[in-house]
């Protein structure tokens, strides 16, 4: 049974999310503030976190920043903040997806299933190793290595996005195609999220992220993995 940590300081929201996710077959842990959530995450090691951004003591962005130092477990953000910058900052810090309050609890369950299934399907249906340029992607372990240097761990979404590109070097992907590749179902998704994930991946795998050698921008279209 997969364990999900729900972090929100609104009791009605946590109860609603708990009811729907437990009914869907998940084990639930709940925290009401960022510091408590960080402590619980370290001991419980949840498979996925549903995280509100507006938290007391330590907000969701600070939580994500600290959590990503030690774990790449997927994070789905819940936020009442409509500003584009808040969402992009969360994604750039390593969140995998987001939903804006008020949200449909049924859609949240669907997104949780998609994120968790994406990890399982990737490991089951692709070769254990993907090699492109001097990078090696270890699919079962969600690890990337390069000849002669270490690579920071990628989140599951970042890894799957890199894998989608690396499987077909030289192919140009639109943002919509990449969204489809990492989500697997047709959610109404935010295409700018792809830019945030690509920025994160470049920071982790490129020698110099401002001069990328692996993931190249195709202006006016999208991205491709360098064919070399």
Residue 133 sits in the same domain as residue 211: yes
In a shared domain, residues 86 and 135: no
pLDDT at 100: 84
Structure-token pair, residue 34: 């960022």
| DSSP character at residue 63 | H
Domain closes at, from 53, 88, 118: 118
Tally of domains within the chain: 2
Does the pLDDT of residue 15 top 50, yes or no?
Answer: yes
Q: What is the enclosing helix (H) or strand (E) of 185?
A: none
The answer to whether residues 101 and 44 belong to one domain is: yes
Residues 93 and 143 in one domain: no
Beta strand 135-138 with 173-174 is unpaired
Same domain, 62 and 168: no
- Statement to judge: residues 9 and 114 lie in one domain: yes
State the residue range of the domain holding 213. Answer: 126-225
Confidence category of residue 160, pLDDT binned at 50, 70, 90: confident
Query: How far is residue 98's CA from residue 88's CA, in Å, rounded to a whole number?
Result: 10
Same domain, 53 and 110: yes
Query: Quick one: 10 and 113 in the same domain?
Result: yes
Residue 41 pLDDT > 80: yes
Q: Are 85 and 173 contained in the same domain?
A: no
Distance in angstroms (rounded) separating the CA atoms of residues 23 and 17: 10
From the list 3, 176, 158, 36, the residue with the least C-alpha distance to 94 is: 158
**Domain shared by 83 and 169, yes or no:** no
Report d(CA 103, CA 158) in Å as an integer: 24
Is there a single domain that holds both residue 110 and residue 131? no
Is residue 193 scored above 90 in pLDDT? Answer: no
Tell me the CATH number at 152. 1.10.10.10
Tens-place pLDDT, residues 49-71: 999 988 998 999 999 999 988 88
**Mean pLDDT of all residues belonging to the chain:** 86
Last residue in a domain, options 55, 86, 118? 118
Query: 104 and 147, same structural domain?
Result: no
The whole-angstrom separation of Cα 42 and Cα 140 is 22
Share of the chain above pLDDT 70, in %: 89
Q: Higher pLDDT residue, 123 or 196?
A: 196
3-state class (DSSP) for residue 72: coil
Final residue of a domain: which of 118, 142, 164?
Answer: 118
pTM: 0.68
Residue 87, domain CATH? 3.40.50.2300
């Amino acid at each position: 049974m997969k364990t999900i940590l729900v972090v929100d300081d609104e009791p009605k929201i946590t109860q609603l999310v708990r009811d729907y996710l437990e009914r869907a077959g998940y084990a639930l842990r709940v925290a009401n503030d960022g510091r408590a959530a960080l402590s619980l995450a370290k001991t419980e090691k949840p498979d996925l976190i549903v995280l509100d951004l507006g938290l007391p003591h330590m907000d969701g962005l600070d939580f994500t920043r600290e959590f990503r130092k030690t774990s790449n477990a997927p994070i789905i953000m819940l936020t009442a903040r409509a500003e584009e910058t808040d969402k992009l900052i969360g994604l750039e810090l390593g969140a995998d997806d987001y939903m804006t309050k008020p949200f449909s609890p049924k859609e949240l369950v669907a997104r949780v299933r998609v994120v968790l299934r994406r990890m399982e399907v990737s490991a089951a249906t692709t070769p254990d190793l993907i090699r492109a340029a001097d990078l090696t992607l270890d699919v079962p372990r969600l690890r990337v290595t390069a000849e002669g240097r270490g690579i920071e761990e990628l989140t599951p979404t970042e890894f799957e996005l890199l894998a989608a590109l690396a499987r077909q070097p030289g192919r140009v992907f639109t943002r919509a195609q990449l969204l489809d590749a990492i989500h697997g179902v047709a959610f109404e998704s935010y295409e700018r999220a792809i830019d945030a994930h690509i920025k994160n991946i470049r920071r982790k795998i490129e020698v110099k992220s401002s001069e990328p050698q692996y993931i190249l921008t195709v202006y006016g279209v999208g991205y491709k993995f360098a064919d070399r």
